[in-house]
A and B are shown apart, each in its own frame.
Chain A
């Protein structure tokens, strides 16, 4: 008891002594500006996160300096045990915020991580620009957002001001694009839809289902799966088949077992049944997971345009491929990552000008980001609107053909 009281006294003393102590303030080294990135770069998610990080890092190293300030790229990894983790993302962001030279962040990769990070960044505030987030509720207000995603664009921004930007087309385009493709081009009538219950997977699946129904199709066996451990899809696939499904739409990513369902459908569905999904399944892991069921009846959308079809990007792409010769180092969002970093650097440059050539504040960077217009990137020309979305996003439909995901349709949309 005496000891416990002694401890209390000590702790109060600690509190008081610290409150009076001087621990040194944060001084910024004039001359360096840090650009952060937060992507899943270890484990299973690294196959998509690392190539994106390489793209952003390449943009920073190509720029080198901005208006006399030296640029430094500071990458963070939000994967825990090989899978993106919202909590880890929020903690990374807290770490970035303690670096006063850091004026903006490229990322995150996953919409679920964005939902955890935006409120933290919003209160700081810090500009975020994501190459790959597609969940529409991150930027737009829909009445279903709170119910399905668990948040709204407003609830993610406690200060009421926007600090989040992205270049990818949101899921109000990605889901419907595949639905249109399935109904018009493939001529499908009945599709079974599942999702991985994550904001991205659930959102894209809901948007697909809505559009497909509008087109006169029927959605059967709508189901969410708990993908925190590997699910057994057999009984559900059987249910889908019994309900007359001609194909499956997987609102999931490869890391959330999006293509395990394809492999387990063997013996229930035949290999020439259609398997459709968002960008999350348009990768090599999906094909590995599908095993014997991998076929040219698999289609995936991608939320950015194909940089290879942009002739003015050819030189930069060639330089990137020279620096990163391994084919694994170039992913679907490598050049979107490049564009995000470039847009951010561009905005920082304008913010420096606006601040009379001095180190700008984070709010000034956000203000300039919002004014980004007609920025010529590798994957397209970007104008960001007040919600943070690109005004003319583009997407593509890819088919698994001849051992690779091949673009079969380019779609341009206007917000």
Chain B
């Protein structure tokens, strides 16, 4: 009986049409790559590296947000729609906290910025993390054993709620986010320059991502997370406090999103209550692209989506970039549901 079920499952996944579809998919990817290579060659090196710089900076922010999606999905298989709005909340909270840290635009610059900014990061990340833990406690934990649809709908509800709260708080306007990062260009040899702002964004994001990876791989809590993700019941039998572990996952994911919110504000200098939803969808696409549930996958996916975004903007037409990103989402799910780095996990 078990063998028959296994075979049936296999047949659901790999039908003859599937291999044909895969072939078509590979052909499309190949054509797209050739077209891009040709345009990049015509555009010259300086332009390419500048475009790449913007892409990497944007990708780094995507990656930070994507990590939260992927960790939560990995551990309780929930698309946490509210995550994108926790990210915007990070920008909003940090904007409100700036006067507390003496961060006044135009009156503070250079090395004097480092300590207040560090404090701003820590406090904002903490608040976002607590908000997200609260969301999990109120909206997801009571539904942990309900059908999949139930927590998904509360997640959409929490997303709307957060957007609404930010909208009531500051209105639907575009808010100016103070500009503290230098606007200089750093030469990287051969007359090619890259924006200092972009470099800083990338550095901060990489530091955060490396510390997260170390944490999940080395710490006891990280081990508990991996165990809970693999088999919740077995982990519980081993004496792991499931609720605490899940809360910790939401805590870390939201802290990264909060940090991403500040970086977003500093990089784009503007933020709006509804920004997080769209940005969250890109980040989520990045998580799926890299292989959902996979932490290095989310980082890689984020960077790649960012680069694809800027290359499409810089070499092709801006109008179709968003369509391209979501087309990638569908492509990945149809041709390689496990993403770039994910393992084969059937039937999700």
Does a CB–CB distance below 8 Å link A and B in the complex? yes
Q: Would you give the shortest CB distance from B106 to chain A, in whole angstroms?
A: 8
- Contact, CB under 8 Å: B47 / A230: no
Per the bound structure, the CA–CA distance linking A147 and B221 in Å amounts to 60
- Inter-chain contact count A-B, CB under 8 Å? 109
At the interface, yes or no: A231 with Cβ under 8 Å from chain B?
A: yes
Pick the contact of B195 from A81, A226, A267 — CB < 8 Å? A267
Distance (Å) between the CB of B191 and the closest chain A CB?
13
Measured between beta carbons, the chain A residues less than 8 angstroms from B58 are: 232, 234
Q: Which of B196, B197, B319 has the most CB of A within 10 A?
A: B319
| Interface residue from B55, B173, B309 paired with A44 (Cβ < 8 Å) | B173
B51 → chain A closest CB, angstroms: 6
A124 within 8 A of B: no
Residues of A within 8 A of B172 (CB): 43-44, 81-83
User: Is there contact, CB below 8 Å, between A236 and B270?
Assistant: no
Find chain B residues with CB under 8 A from A264 CB.
268-269
Closest CB of chain B to A23's CB: distance in Å? 38
Nearest residue (CB) in A for B277 is A229
CA of A264 to CA of B181, assembled, Å: 12
Q: How far is the CA of A9 from the CA of B146 in the complex (A)?
A: 40
Structural contact, A289 and B270, CB atoms closer than 8 A? yes
Report B54 CB to chain A, min CB distance, Å: 4
Cβ of A266 under 8 Å from chain B = yes
Chain B, 253-284, CB within 8 A of any chain A CB:
268-270, 272, 274-275, 277-278
Beta-carbon contacts of A264-292 to B below 8 Å, as 1s and 0s?
10111000000000000000010011011
Contacts A44-B174, A291-B179: A263 and B314 contacting too (C-beta < 8 A)? no
A232 & B270 in contact (Cβ 8 Å cutoff): no
How far is A268 from B47 in the complex, measured between Cα atoms in Å?
A: 12
Q: Please name all residues of chain B whose beta carbon is closer than 8 Å to the beta carbon of A223 when the two chains form the complex.
A: 317-319
Closest to B177 in A: A291
* A225 interfacial contact with B, CB 8 Å: yes
One digit per residue, 1 when the CB lies within 8 angstroms of any chain B CB and 0 when it does not, for chain A 49-89 equals 00000000000000000000000000000000111000000
List CB contacts (< 8 Å) of A109-147 with chain B: none
B176 contacts partner chain A, Cβ-Cβ < 8 Å: yes
| A266-B314 contact in complex given A43-B172, A242-B47, C-beta closer than 8 Å | no
B185 to A, closest residue via Cβ: A267
A377 CB-CB contact with B under 8 Å: no
Contacts A232-B58, A238-B51, A267-B197 hold; do A82 and B171 have CB atoms under 8 A apart? yes
Please, which residue of chain B has its CB at the minimum distance from the CB of A237? Answer: B54
- How far, in Å, is B325 (CB) from chain A's closest CB? 12
Q: Flag whether B132 is at the interface (Cβ < 8 A).
A: no
The reply on B15 being an interface residue by CB < 8 A is no
Residues of B within 8 A of A292 (CB): 105-106, 179, 269
Q: Is residue A257 contacting chain B, with contact meaning CB distance below 8 A?
A: yes
Q: Contact partner of B314 among A44, A230, A239, A260, CB < 8 A?
A: A239
A235 at the interface (CB under 8 A from B): yes
- List A contacts of B51 (CB < 8 A): 235, 238
> What is the CA–CA distance of A239 and B44 in the complex, to the nearest angstrom?
12
Interface: B77 (CB within 8 A): no
Is B310 touching A234 in the complex (CB atoms < 8 A)?
yes
State the Cβ distance, B130 to closest chain A Cβ, in Å. Answer: 27
Within A16-57, the residues touching B (CB, 8 Å) are 43-44
Interface 0/1 of B156-191, CB less than 8 Å to A? 000000000001000111101011000111000000
Indicate the member of A224, A267, A285 with the most B CB atoms within 10 Å: A267
A residues 239-270 with Cβ under 8 Å of B?
239, 242, 254, 257, 260, 263-264, 266-268
> In the bound complex, do residue B47 and residue A238 qualify as a contact, i.e. CB atoms below 8 Å apart?
yes
How far apart are the CA atoms of A222 and B185 in the complex, in Å? 25
Say whether B50 faces chain A, with CB atoms less than 8 Å apart.
Answer: yes
> In whole angstroms, how far apart are the Cα atoms of A226 and B322 in the complex?
9
Interface residues on A, range: 20 to 34
Residues of chain B within 8 A (CB-CB) of A254 are 174
Q: Which of B167, B184, B309, B319 contacts A226 (CB 8 A)?
A: B319
- What does DSSP make chain B's interface, helix, strand, loop or mixed? helix
A137 smallest CB distance to B (angstroms): 20
Cα–Cα, bound, A226→B309 (Å) = 14
Contact with A along B135-152 (1 / 0, CB 8 A): 000000000000000000
B314 touching A236, Cβ below 8 Å: yes
> What is the distance, in angstroms, from B290's C-beta to the closest C-beta of chain A?
20
The reply to whether B174 and A289 form a contact with Cβ atoms under 8 Å apart is yes
Please measure, in the bound complex, the distance between the C-alpha atom of A83 and the C-alpha atom of B314, giving whole angstroms.
28
- CA gap between A378 and B47 in the complex, in Å: 51
Verify B47–A236 contact, CB threshold 8 A. no
Chain A nearest Cβ from B195, distance in angstroms: 5
| Bound CA–CA A231/B320 (angstroms) | 12
Please measure, in the bound complex, the distance between the C-alpha atom of A288 and the C-alpha atom of B178, giving whole angstroms: 11
Whose C-beta in chain A lies nearest to the C-beta of B43? A242
Q: How far is the CA of A231 from the CA of B317 in the complex (A)?
A: 13
**B313 with A232: CB separation less than 8 A:** yes
A292 to B269, CA, bound (A): 10
Proximity string of chain B (181-215) to chain A, C-beta cutoff 8 Å, 1 when within and 0 when not? 00111000000000111000000000000000000
CA distance A133 to B84 in the complex (A): 36
Q: Are A267 and B269 in contact (CB under 8 A)?
A: no
| Most chain A beta-carbon contacts within 10 A, residue among B196, B269, B309 | B269
Q: Is the CB of A232 within 8 A of B309?
A: yes
Beta-carbon contact of A226 and B54 below 8 Å: no
Q: Which residues of A contact B105 (CB under 8 A)?
A: 291-292
A230 to chain B, nearest CB (A): 6
Q: Given contacts A238-B50, A267-B185, are A288 and B319 in contact (CB under 8 A)? A: no
- Looking at A43, A234, A291, the one whose CB has the most chain B CB atoms below 10 A away is A234
Q: How far is the CB of B307 from chain A (nearest CB, A)?
A: 10
Question: Does A289 contact B313, Cβ atoms closer than 8 Å?
Answer: no
Chain B's nearest CB lies how many Å from the CB of A279? 18
What separation, in Å, do the CA atoms of A263 and B176 have in the docked complex? 9
Nearest CB to that of A229 among chain B residues? B278
In the assembled complex, the CB of B310 is this many whole angstroms from the nearest CB of chain A, namely: 4
Write out the residue numbers on chain A whose beta carbons fall within 8 Å of the beta carbon of B311: 235
A106 to B76: give the CA distance in the assembly, Å.
Answer: 54
Nearest B residue (CB) for A45: B172
* Sample of 20 further A-B pairs with CB below 8 A, known A235-B310, A260-B174: A43-B171, A224-B318, A226-B322, A229-B275, A230-B174, A230-B275, A232-B310, A234-B54, A235-B51, A235-B318, A238-B50, A239-B47, A242-B47, A266-B183, A266-B269, A267-B197, A285-B173, A285-B174, A291-B178, A292-B106
14 contacts between A and B (CB under 8 A): A44-B171, A81-B274, A82-B167, A82-B173, A224-B318, A230-B272, A234-B54, A234-B313, A235-B318, A238-B54, A260-B270, A263-B270, A289-B174, A291-B176
Among all A-B residue pairs, the 3 with the closest Cβ atoms: A82-B172, A235-B313, A267-B183
Give A residues with C-beta under 8 Å from B: 43-44, 81-83, 197, 223-226, 229-232, 234-236, 238-239, 242, 254, 257, 260, 263-264, 266-268, 285, 288-289, 291-292
